[in-house]
Amino acid sequence: MVNKTLVAAAAITLSSLALTSCGDSDASSGTDNGGSGDGAITMGFAQVGAESGWRTANTKSIQDTAKAEGVDLKFTDAQGKQENQIQAIRSYIQQKVDVIAFSPVVETGFDAVLQEAKAANIPVILTDRAVDADPSLYKTFLGSDFVVEGEKAGQWLVDNAADADANGDGTINVVQLEGTTGAAPAIDRAEGFADKIAADDSIEVTASQTGDFTRDGGKQVMESFLQSDDSIDVVFAHNDDMGLGAIEAIEAAGLEPGKDVKIITIDAVKDGMTALSEGKINYIVECNPLLGPQLMDLAQKVLDGEEVPARVLTEESAFTPEQAAEVLADRQY
């Protein structure tokens, strides 16, 4: 009995020793890699998944920029699951990469793994989405400000109010196609838009309903709005896809999108820009997925020990039909 226990204890001690030594050698080789002085950055990137055209454009931008700038990119796709993402970040910590970047699947639950990264002295950059954690656990957050996007859309409507009143009754009735209920972009874009249109009393959101960020959802909700209200002047859709669905519903109702009903959307993906250049959409606020160049730039600065702001906004603009026609040919996504 005693013998057995001893043997077991010895085995455990031995195996843990073996493990430790393994870990040690790994760590040292890792450090060698990282600090080999050839200037190449090793970046671990944990992507959310590939759930939309926007996301795949985002992935491609990061991969292409890394290649162009000679960054050794270790890329994982969490397939929309937080546990996959945490696992990926842990493996990056073990591999001792120089910098970790990720788009958090959800806002909460990353505290522990961020602590581990901090303990291992690896800087973390958030892209596209924020986390609900102590800000000292990450260096910076690079991404769009959804409230500003909503504000840009609202401001355009206020500036073009005279033009938007298609039926000339003095009031501008706006219907809103919301994104997925509870999603940050849906909440923030609605908020920014509402803030700006409050400046003009004649503009009023008469109906608002979720279209789940999809074309089918946008079309079905818009169909219903058109049946119940024949004085709709403007559609504000939280993304291009719902706006494209709304265009089909408006055409089916015998109206002309862009003229009888003005359309404002957010995103500026290729299909949306095409519709914009054809005049079916009147204004698109860009939500830029091409974060690669800014991300690599930030990573370099962080590693050089430069101070970076805690919040870096994506470079974004907005398009009118004329501008859309100009840039459409080079649109990558």
Partner 1 sequence: MTETTTRVQRVLRHPLLWPVLALVVLVLVNVVARPSFLDVRMQDGHLYGNVIDILRNSAPVMLVALGMTLVIATRGIDLSVGAIAAIAGAVACTRIVGAGDEAALTTAVMAVTYALVVCIVLGAWNGLLVSVLGIQPIIATLILMVAGRGISMAVTDGQITTVNNPFFSDLASGFVLTLPLAFLIALAVLAFTAVLTRRTALGMLIEAVGINPEASRLAGVRARTIIWTVYAFSGLCAGMAGLVIAANTNSVNANSLGLWIELDAILAVVIGGTSLAGGRFSLAGTFVGAIFIATLARTIPNIGIPSEINYLFKAIVVIAVCLLQSPRARAVFRVRRTPRPPAAGPAPTAEPAPATAGVRA
Binding interface with partner 1 (CB under 8 A): 50-53, 55-56, 178, 181-182, 207-210, 212-217, 219-221, 223-225, 227-228, 241, 244-245, 248, 252-254, 269, 271
Nearer to partner 1, 230 or 326 (CB): 230
Q: Give, as one character, the DSSP assignment of residue 257.
A: B
Query: 């505290």: which residue's tokens?
Result: 111
Question: C-beta of 191: minimal distance to partner 1 in Å?
Answer: 14
Q: Phi then psi for 71, rounded to 5 degrees? A: -85, 135
Q: Give, as one character, the DSSP assignment of residue 41.
A: P
Nearer to partner 1, 88 or 246 (CB): 246
| 236 within 8 A of 174, measured Cβ to Cβ | yes
Both tokens of 213, joined, read 């960020």
Both tokens of 187, joined, read 């909440």
Nearer to partner 1, 143 or 218 (CB): 218
How far CA 281 is from CA of 140, 263, 273, in Å, comes to 35, 5, 8
Among 158, 147, 67, 62, CA closest to 102 = 62
Question: C-beta of 307: minimal distance to partner 1 in Å?
Answer: 37
What's the gap between Cα 223 and its chain centre?
A: 29
Question: C-beta of 79: minimal distance to partner 1 in Å?
Answer: 9
What's the gap between Cα 167 and its chain centre?
A: 37
Question: C-beta of 198: minimal distance to partner 1 in Å?
Answer: 20
Among 82, 120, 75, CA closest to 101 = 75
How many distinct helices (H) and strands (E) make up the chain? 12, 12
Nearer to partner 1, 33 or 214 (CB): 214
Query: 């986390």: which residue's tokens?
Result: 131
Nearer to partner 1, 147 or 244 (CB): 244
Nearer to partner 1, 98 or 128 (CB): 128
Question: C-beta of 227: minimal distance to partner 1 in Å?
Answer: 5
CA–CA gap between residue 141 and residue 301 (Å, rounded): 14
Question: C-beta of 131: minimal distance to partner 1 in Å?
Answer: 23
Question: C-beta of 209: minimal distance to partner 1 in Å?
Answer: 5
Nearer to partner 1, 52 or 202 (CB): 52
